[in-house]
Amino acid sequence: MPRARTPRLWLTRKYSYRVRDGYVEILGGYKLKIIGWDKRYDAYPSGDAKLILKDGKFILCISKHVPRPVKYVARGVLAIDINEKHIVFGNSHFEYRFETAVERALHYKQLAENLQKKYSLTRYNAWLRRRGVRDRIRYFHRRARNIVEDWAKKVSHKIASLAKQHLYAVAREDLTNLVDSLKKLPKEHRVSLLILSYRKLEQWIDWQCEKNGAPLIVVEPRGTSTTCPMCSSKLIENGYRRLRCLKCRFEADRDIVAVLNIERRALVQMWGALIP
Ligand SMILES: [Zn+2]
């Protein structure tokens, strides 16, 4: 079904647009009144811009040249482990835990699917063409994506702020292989939401660390949840999501094991092999 994309216009710096006296002037003599803007970046010089028409309103997105904050010297590492249900971040001293947004987003994917199924029956084919139903389905899909994006934004903001406050570096696993293996699975909503969650989280963590001047360390993910963080032996299962080391008797939840291993690998990368 053909579908019009959001109309947009690229505007180069200096030549194609100008912001003056409460108006945006665009090449060709167009003048748009400014209703409001995000004042936080006023002090920085403007770059190229993009003009979008959305829901009957014009939005001018101006890129800003913001200098990169200097990275502070970290006195430890805050490690992040993510699974389908939880995101755990912490280190040998403390631990924070949040739910992922997968379940919440899935609810809207299911609403979209139910609607789609209902109106794809042959007797409803004429209905499917009706804009209202199509828009509703699209709205549900968009809502699901927005929930994941919002979650990734908020969680990564919390992580980076906490790291900055206590002068920790942030360590995350490289999730490329995990995302690749998820892509091979049957295309279910849950899988696609997980892929989106991992991608968005990586993207926002990296950005928030950059913005807050927090050093970021990306570690190799292999074996982070099967190796003993104390003696590097292989761990064995000991009940639901619980792991145990036969050699040194260390025992913990799978995600805590991962956090400790990520912390350790990051410390090695940051300070070399000479850690206590
Ligand atoms: Zn051990």
DSSP string, 159-201: HHHHHHHTT-EEEEE--HHHHHHHHTS---HHHHHHHHHHHHH
Ligand 1 centroid–CA 238 distance in Å is: 14
Q: What's the confidence (pLDDT) of residue 122?
A: 62
Q: How far is it, in rounded angstroms, from Cα 197 to Cα 194?
A: 5
Ligand 1 centroid–CA 167 distance in Å is: 29
Of 255, 80, 68, 72, residue with least CA distance to 159: 80
Q: What's the confidence (pLDDT) of residue 274?
A: 54
Ligand 1 centroid–CA 243 distance in Å is: 10
Ligand 1 centroid–CA 263 distance in Å is: 16
pTM of the model: 0.78
Q: pLDDT tens, 1-21?
A: 455 567 888 998 888 998 888
Ligand 1 centroid–CA 271 distance in Å is: 23
Of 15, 161, 30, residue with least CA distance to 96: 161
pLDDT by residue, tens only, the chain of 276 residues: 455 567 888 998 888 998 888 899 988 888 999 998 888 888 889 999 999 988 888 999 999 988 888 999 999 999 999 988 899 999 999 899 999 999 999 999 999 999 888 877 666 666 556 777 888 899 999 999 999 999 999 999 999 999 999 999 999 999 999 899 999 998 899 999 999 999 999 999 999 999 999 999 999 999 999 999 999 999 999 888 899 999 999 999 999 999 999 999 999 998 875 554
Bridge partners, residue 11, by sequence? 49
Q: What's the confidence (pLDDT) of residue 123?
A: 62
Secondary structure (3-state) at 6: coil
Secondary structure (3-state) at 207: helix
Q: What's the confidence (pLDDT) of residue 119?
A: 76
Ligand 1 centroid–CA 84 distance in Å is: 26
Of 96, 104, 95, 77, residue with least CA distance to 197: 104
Q: Which amino acid is at 42?
A: D
Crossing angle of the two packed helices 176-183 and 189-212, in degrees rounded to 10 = 160
Ligand 1 centroid–CA 244 distance in Å is: 8
Ligand 1 centroid–CA 232 distance in Å is: 6
